[in-house]
Structure formats: structure tokens, C-alpha cells
Amino acid sequence: MTLFDRVFSGNDAVYGLTETAIDNAIAQYGADQAVAFPHTAYSLPCYYAVTGTKVSNLGELKEALGVVKTLMTREKRLNDAFMSGVATALCAEFIEVLKYINNETPYEEPCSGHLMDATIRELGVPLVTGDIPGVAVILGAAPTKEEAVELVKSYQAQGILVTLVGGVIDQCLEAGLNMGAAVRIIPLGRDVTSVIHVVSVAIRAALIFGNVTPGDAGNLMKYTFERVPAFVNAFAPLDDVIVACGAGAIALGFPVITNETENIFRVPKSLIVQEDVSRFNATSLEARDIKIKITKIDIPVSFASAFEGEIIRRG
């Protein structure tokens, strides 16, 4: 299967799930049921940023899905693959927002799920100043939990904000890694769709700090491409859905680094196969052109701005 076919197929799969989920929700709650993420002024931030339209109830969500469908063109061109990636992300956002219906807390510690505007404003300034030199999105499970922790810690030591989706979260938990926004390691959720919560961060950054007009998808993608230093580390195996999500990430300008070697196509600076997980960090930073000025201080503990919010408990 070609790379584009995989993207399209992953997109179709997610679209199918989303359609069913929305239909079921309407059947259960009625079309007037309100849908919203907590603590955000941007409705469904991704959908709002791409289309300029806010969604407030299930009926509107269903309509929005119709708009998403129009992005799912199937020409064999990168634009179509990119738009399918975006469509996949928007579907993920729809699936995620349904989780918040009549349920204040679909996510429980340590997973954050949706991140509120305040968190983004808080992270925004250090992102702009370069104090946070990058955003890592780690997806799936590493070959071993040691490699997972090693990788996460390596980013943390560089001050990079790490977000986790899927198996890697449990790997870090098992290893007893201290996580949370304060130490710049944010587990999002175990479903692949929860990756949208970090996409939402990048997109709200464009709306808040980049002054991008909602609905101006071109400038939105330009802003994230040029200004949001994010990248994705996706562990094998990659199914079509993850490949489709990856297309969305690449559309926003975020390279994807993976250790998948089966049925994958390499794209310079965008989709990079790195079989050696211990070199994910160096590969990713180079791919996203992140240069970190490090003054190495020879001390027996880790040292980075990421530890500034750490809480030292008694005992």
C-alpha cells in the first residue's frame, strides 16, 4: 500500500468511528445536548481554528462532521494526504469532546486529557522565549520500559515539554517516573485520539500568540510550521490510524520519527525512520532544527528548567 493509501485508509477508519459515535450520542442525548471542552474559549479548538466555526451542541457537531468529510478528497497528492491528516485530527477532537458529555472527568490521574487555556498561556511564554525549546509528542509503547523512560528523561533534561499518548504512559508509570505539567511531562491519554489534546495546544498557541484568524487554515499551518517546535515520536507498530494522525502532524510542520520499518515510506525532514530508539532524541531535534544551548554542569542529579515546578515531598 502506498503511504497516501495508508493515510486515506486510517482517515476513513477514524471517520467511520466518529460518525457512529456522534450518531449514538445524538440517539442517547438528543441533538441539543451541549458539547464542550472545559476551560477553553475556543470551543473545539482545532475545528474552530481550521474552519472558524464554533460547535456548541451535538447537532452542530454532526454538521461539522459534514465539513470534515469535504476535506477527505482522495487525489493522489500530498495536499489530499495533508487534508486527510487534518480531517483525522478533527475527527479525533470530535471523539474526545464526546467523552466530556455529562462527565466532568473522563480522564483521571495521571492522564490529563484536554488541557485548559490557562495551561497553554502558562506554557506559551517559555515556548516563545525558547525556555521550552521544543514539544515532544510520544506515541505508543517503546520496545522496553527502560528505553521509554530514558527517552522521556532525555527530553526533560533538555527542557523540552513531553506529552505522552498510549503505552508509553504505563511504561513510565511502571518505572515510577514523576510526571505532570509541573515537570513538563504530560501524559494525555491511552487512546490514540487523545493526541489531539497536544495538537490543540499548538493550535491554540497559534490563535493566542500568533494572532491567526480562526478559519485561516493556511496561515495556521504556516504558523505551526514556523513557530511551534513540536515533533512526534511514534513507536512501532504503526497502524493506518496512526499514520493518518502522522500526516496531520506533518501538515502542521511537525516531523514524525518512528522505529517502524515495515510498510513505511521515508520522507526527508518529515517522516524519519530511526531504528535505534536511543537516538530518537538526537534525530528528532535535528529534524525539527531545535538547537539547545547547554552548559553542562557536572552534578549528581538532573538539572533543567523542567524541574523548576517539582514538588519535594517529605520522606
Partner 1 sequence: MGDFKLTTVEEFEAATNRLLETGAKVGADAWQLRVKNQTPHCKFGEQGICCRICSMGPCRITPKAPRGICGCDAHGIVGRNYLKFTAGGAATHSDHGREICHTLYHAAADGAYKVKDPDKLIRIAKEWGVETEGKDIYDLAHEVAEMALMEYGKPFGYQRWLKRAPQHTQDLWEKAEIAPRAIDREVACSLHMTHMGCSSKPEALVRQSLRAGLCDGWGGSMCGTEFSDVLFGTPKPIDTEANLGVMNADNVNIVVHGHDPSLSEMVCEYADDPEMIAYAKSVGAKGITVSGVCCTSNEVAMRRGIPMAGNFLQQENVVLTGACEAIVVDVQCIFPALGPLSKCFHTKFITTSPVAQMPDSDYIRFDVGTAAEKAKQIVKMAIDNFQNRKPELVYIPDMKQKATVGYSVEAIVKTLDGVTNSQVDELGTTKPLIECITSGVIRGAVAMVGCNNPKIRPDYAHIELMKKLLANDIIVVASGCSAQAAAKAGLMDKSAKDLCGAGLKRVCELADIPPVLHMGSCVDISRMMILVSELAKDSGLNISQLPVVGCAPEWMSEKAVSIGNYVVSTGIDTFLGVDPYVSGSDQMGYWLTEGVRDWVEAAYTVETDIEKLVDKMIDRIEEKRAAIGI
From candidates 266, 291, 292, 309, binder to partner 1 by CB under 8 A: 266
Using the minimum distance from each CB to partner 1, give the nearer residue, 122 or 286: 286
For the bound state, the minimum distance from the C-beta of residue 268 to partner 1, rounded and expressed in Å, comes to 4
CA distances 13 to 92, 234, 245, Å, are 11, 19, 12
From candidates 34, 282, 292, 294, binder to partner 1 by CB under 8 A: 282
**Is residue 2 part of the contact set for partner 1 (CB under 8 A)?**
yes
Q: For the CA atoms of 117, 180, 287, 150, what is the dihedral angle to 10 degrees? A: 180
Please give the angle made by the CA atoms of 2, 135 and 145, to the nearest 5 degrees.
Answer: 75
Dihedrals phi, psi of 200, to nearest 5 degrees: -60, -35
**Is residue 287 part of the contact set for partner 1 (CB under 8 A)?**
yes
**Is residue 265 part of the contact set for partner 1 (CB under 8 A)?**
yes
Q: Which three cell numbers stand for residue 214?
A: 480562526
Please give the angle made by the CA atoms of 100, 110 and 283, to the nearest 5 degrees.
Answer: 105
For the bound state, the minimum distance from the C-beta of residue 286 to partner 1, rounded and expressed in Å, comes to 5
From candidates 286, 304, 305, 307, binder to partner 1 by CB under 8 A: 286
From candidates 17, 67, 116, 267, binder to partner 1 by CB under 8 A: 267
**Is residue 279 part of the contact set for partner 1 (CB under 8 A)?**
yes
Size of the residue set binding partner 1 (CB under 8 A): 24
Nearest to 185 by CA among 162, 167, 159, 160: 162
For the bound state, the minimum distance from the C-beta of residue 307 to partner 1, rounded and expressed in Å, comes to 27
Angle, to 10 degrees, between the axis of helix 196-208 and the axis of helix 217-227?
100
Nearest to 71 by CA among 112, 22, 12: 12
For the bound state, the minimum distance from the C-beta of residue 130 to partner 1, rounded and expressed in Å, comes to 22
Give the binding range for partner 1 (CB under 8 A) out of 120-128, 194-202, 280-288, 303-311.
280-288
Which parts of 61-90 interact with partner 1 (CB under 8 A)? 76-79, 81-82
Using the minimum distance from each CB to partner 1, give the nearer residue, 3 or 141: 3
Specify the 3-state DSSP secondary structure of 272: strand
Residue in the structure block whose three cell numbers are 526527508: 268
Instruction: Report d(CA 244, CA 87) in Å as an integer.
Output: 9
For the bound state, the minimum distance from the C-beta of residue 86 to partner 1, rounded and expressed in Å, comes to 11
Which parts of 105-164 interact with partner 1 (CB under 8 A)? none
For the bound state, the minimum distance from the C-beta of residue 277 to partner 1, rounded and expressed in Å, comes to 12
From candidates 66, 268, 300, 315, binder to partner 1 by CB under 8 A: 268
User: Which class for 86: exposed (0-12), middle (13-18), buried (19 or more C-beta within 10 A)?
Assistant: buried
Contacts with partner 1 by CB under 8 A lie at: 2-4, 76-79, 81-82, 265-274, 279, 282-283, 286-287
